[in-house]
Amino acid sequence: MRFLLTGGTGFIGQRLASRIVERGDSLTVLVRPSSRRDALAALGARFAVGDLTTGEGLTEAVRDVDCVLHLAGVTKAREPAGYFEGNAHGTRRLAEAMA
């Protein structure tokens, strides 16, 4: 199976990435240009550079995948609007790209 994982650089995401690779499945991780990728690269993950905030790169990231595992989310924001933008709108942008 071909997976796209968002939030793969986080604590839970890295562990899920390991399990996906252990199963023998294909893994692409959505990352920002500045994301630390060393641990995921060591697993053999591929990378799709994109941004849930702007929607940039999402259409290309979801192309040719069987399953999207969406773990990315805003966990720190100065205002409630920051959580809404990063989580609700980011998830909507990802769903639109999948559609």
The strands making up 67-70's β-sheet, listed across from edge to edge, are 46-49, 26-31, 2-6, 67-70
Residue 83 CB contacts under 8 Å (≥ 6 apart), including other chains? 74, 77
3-state secondary structure of 40: helix
Token pair belonging to 77: 């924001």
The candidate with the shortest Cα–Cα distance to 73, out of 60, 54, 91, is 91
Q: Please report the domains of the chain, with CATH numbers, ordered by start residue.
A: 8-98 (3.40.50.720)
Band of the pLDDT at 19, cuts 50, 70, 90?
very high
Q: Model confidence over 24-62: pLDDT tens digits?
A: 999 999 999 999 999 999 999 999 999 999 999 999 999
Instruction: Report the largest interatomic distance among the alpha carbons of the chain, rounded to a whole angstrom.
Output: 41
In the prediction, which pLDDT does 4 show?
98
